[in-house]
Structure 1
Amino acid sequence: MTGSDATPSFRLAYVPGVTPAKWVRVWQERLPGTPLELVAVSAAEAPGVLRDGAADAGLVRLPVDRAYFSAIPLYTETTVVVVPKDHLFAAVEEVTAEDLADEVVFHPLDDTIGWEQPPGRPAIERPATTADAIELVAANVGVLVVPQSLARLHHRRDLTYRPLTDAPQSGVALSWPEERTTDLVEDFIGIVRGRTVNSSRGRTQTPAADKAKDKQKPKGQAQNKSKGQGKAQGGKAPARAGGRPAAKGGAAKRGGQAGGKPRRRS
């Protein structure tokens, strides 16, 4: 099979904590002949993967380089602090950055929160990954601040988390190289934006979609359309009330002369 004969596919990168399942399901329903390949990458790797063409688009964490990438923000996550279940914070509903002042707060190298100054006391050494930091929290060495989806991803029975009310938040976006906005990228944009298959901003509709749309129209509309076509093709003018046809040329003439007396027969 040559490259020109190969079935086109769409490669979607996604970072930890992001769940693309709902969009993938819609893609498979709408474009069953076009495979969608998922590419798992770290938040730090995502820009390079998109630049190199290893993925057509990605579900990434903001910010992105807007000089090179287009991006559609999708949602913003709640920021939480992960602590052991027997920690004091487990007894409250939410935590503030000030509450962390005396805590060792891990700041892993793959941190996804744009801190100007991380709260709490820094650890002696920064963990390489969020997963490594979770292990240290479980060992009761310190606490960790992450987007809520990462706290769920690294869930452990001996840990819990609470919202951190005054911390920066992490945004998730669909991003792709602006110069490579292909038809398949446009299709996926339509899916994440919730456009219907028959949306006027979508791509060309299939004949099956057109037929399905026609079946949904009320029968009366189809009948009125047929009558309108008949009139345009030179059908008879509609009769006046009482069943007599309307006279040509405007008002009906009496006795051959408008408004005059009847002529006397010779």
Structure 2
Amino acid sequence: MTGTQETPSFRLAYVPGATPAKWVRIWNERLPGVPLTLLQVPSTEASDVLRAGDADAGLVRLPVDRAFFSAIPLYTEATVVVVPKDHLITAAEEVTLADLADEVVFHPLDDVFDWDRPPGEPAFERPATTEDAVELVAANVGLLIVPQSLARLHHRKDLTYRPVVDAPRSSVALSWPEEATTDLVEDFIGIVRGRTVNSTRGRAAAKPETEPQRKQEPGKARQKPAAGARSTSGKPTGGKSAGRTARGRTASNSGRPAKRGKPRRKS
């Protein structure tokens, strides 16, 4: 009877603007036998995809439900306002929210910012997506505030952007269901945290086994140190016999009595 063993794989969801390419490249180098599948999902659906188990982990935008998900913040993006290239705002290198107070600012349904009150004048309707809002900006009917990565993602030749220095910022994090922290998830955590290939991946490393003490073989006596040898304290080793031998050699040099010379004749 032959059975089939499922090939392990890792599924990584990511939201628009997130760039997993560098980490995917490192994964393929370190785990060539484990395919990594990328799944792009809208920001508003990322949590549902992870909850349903359709992805093992995801590059998502904070905040997330910390009662269910673990999350490792990776970076925080600058916030920009997308405008037509001939807009007056392009005369400045950066702007504030107060500078946008009289402008129509679109607030799409997939907006990543949790505004208490959206800046600017409200638009006639909320676009369904950020991409739809960019099209409206290109039609010169309003402006759009987004993380810089989304401005780059939806770049158009007739549009540009400027930093908004006092706007909220969006942070990207690696997130996964806390109860589904598998070995492959740990592997990917190690990659995004810059751990080396020999790292323990955050799990407790096994303590190295100490070399067992050698037992004295039966019938063999412990070897005695050479006579006259000295210990670390500077005293001769080898017990009393070694001490007698040392004194005997000092007195006679060979263990025999020393020869006496002839007495001198008195004159």
TM-score range, shorter chain: 0.7 to 0.9
What amino acid is the match of 1:262?
A: A
C-alpha deviation, 1:237, in angstroms: 11
1:30-61 CA-partner distances (Å, limit 9, x unpaired): 00000000011000110000000000000000
Q: Kindly tell me: are residues 52 and 237 of structure 1, through their superposed partners in 2, closer, same or farther at Cα, counting changes over 3 Å?
A: farther
What is aligned with 2:145?
Answer: 145
| Residues 25, 173 of structure 1: alpha-carbon distance in 2 compared, 3 angstrom cutoff | same
Equivalent residue number for residue 183 of structure 1: 183
Counterpart CA distance in 2 for 1:141 and 1:79 is 21
8 Å CA contact retained: 2:76, 2:169: yes
Question: 1:64 and 2:64 equivalent?
Answer: yes
Equivalent of residue 247 in structure 1, options 226, 229, 247: 229
C-alpha deviation, 1:5, in angstroms: 1.0
Q: Give the direction of change, closer, same or farther, for the CA distance of 1:6–1:82 in structure 2 (3 Å limit).
A: same
- Residue 19 of structure 1 aligns with which residue? 19
Give 1:200 shift.
Answer: 3.7
Alpha-carbon contact 1:72-1:174 (below 8 Å) kept: yes
Write the deviation string for residues 225-258 of structure 1: whole angstroms up to 9, x where unpaired: xxxxxxxxxxx999xxxxx996266427676255
1:226 is aligned to none
Contact 1:195 1:202 in 2 (8 A): no
Query: What percentage of aligned pairs have identical amino acids?
Result: 71
1:129 aligns with: 129
1:133-156, Cα deviation, whole Å (9 max, x unpaired): 001000000000000000000000
Aligned-residue offset at 1:124: 1.3
Give runs of aligned pairs for residues 109-258 of structure 1, distance below 5 A. Answer: 109-201=109-201, 247=229, 250-251=235-236, 256=245
**Please, what is the CA RMSD of the aligned residues?**
2.9
Offset from partner CA, 1:66-117 (integer Å, 9 cap, x none): 0000000000000000000000011110010000010000000000012111
2:76 match = 76
**Any unmatched runs of 5+ in structure 2?**
206-222, 258-267
Q: Distance in 2 between the 1:39 and 1:10 partners?
A: 11
Q: State how far apart, in whole Å, the 1-side matches of 2:228 and 2:50 are.
A: 72
Q: Which runs of 5+ in 1 are unaligned?
A: 206-235, 239-243
Q: CA deviation at 1:181?
A: 0.1
* CA distance in 2 between partners of 1:125 and 1:198 (Å): 54
Following the alignment from structure 1 to structure 2, what is the Cα–Cα distance between the partners of residues 197 and 96? 45
Question: How far apart are residue 163 of structure 1 and its match?
Answer: 0.2
Which structure has the larger Rg over C-alpha atoms?
2
- 8 A Cα contact 1:18 1:59, kept in partner: yes
Give the match for residue 39 of structure 1: 39
- 2:181 maps to a residue whose letter is T
* 8 Å contact from structure 2 (residues 228, 243) kept in 1: no
Aligned counterparts of 1:3 and 1:15: Cα–Cα separation in 2: 37
| Map 1:91-110 → 2, pairs under 5 A | 91-110=91-110
8 Å Cα contact 2:23/2:191 also seen in 1: yes
Secondary structure in 2 matching 1:73: strand
Question: For 1:3 and 1:56, how far apart are their aligned partners in 2?
Answer: 25
- Determine the structure 2 residue equivalent to 1:227: none
Q: How far apart in 2 are the matches of 1:82 and 1:16?
A: 16
Would you say how many aligned residue pairs link Structure 1 and Structure 2?
A: 230
Q: 1:21 to 1:265 in 2, by over 3 A?
A: same
- Which whole-Å deviations, capped at 9, do the CAs of 1:143-199 have from their partners, x for residues lacking one? 000000000000000000000000000000000000000000000000000001012
